[in-house]
Amino acid sequence: DNKINFYFKKYAKYRTQDIPKLYRDSGSFYIFKTVSLLKDKGELNNKSSYYHLDRNKAVDIDNIKDFKLAELLFKNKNQFVN
């Protein structure tokens, strides 16, 4: 039906500049102590923390097209430095 389903409907009519920042789990990597991993079965708990990945320095590679993009960015990294 080509309709957008907003995750946070209360912000649907706001400009992105006017809403709070939202962070999501990228699934890039997880680091667990073995004991915690086994006890919590790989689930994040209240002691979990995060590492902020700069979107300009990380590429989510799911397919060959993503890999080619990452390769291109890596080869030309000095041209894209802020």
In a domain, residue 4? The reply is no
What letters, b where the CB count within 10 A reaches 16 and e where it falls short, cover 55-75? eeeebeeeeeeeeeeeeeeee
pLDDT at 65: 96
How confident is the prediction along the chain (82 residues), in pLDDT tens digits per residue? 678 777 788 888 889 899 888 777 777 788 888 888 888 887 877 777 888 887 777 888 899 999 999 899 888 876 755 5
Q: Establish if 55 belongs to a structural domain.
A: yes
Q: How far is CA 71 from CA 17, 49, 65, 66, 74, in A?
A: 32, 29, 10, 9, 5
Q: Residue 30's closest CA among 52, 50, 53, 9? A: 50
Whether 13 is in a domain gets the answer yes
In a domain, 20, yes or no: yes
Domain with 74, as residue range(s), is 9-79
Helix (H) / strand (E) element for 69: namely helix 64-75
What is the pTM (predicted TM-score) of this model?
0.47
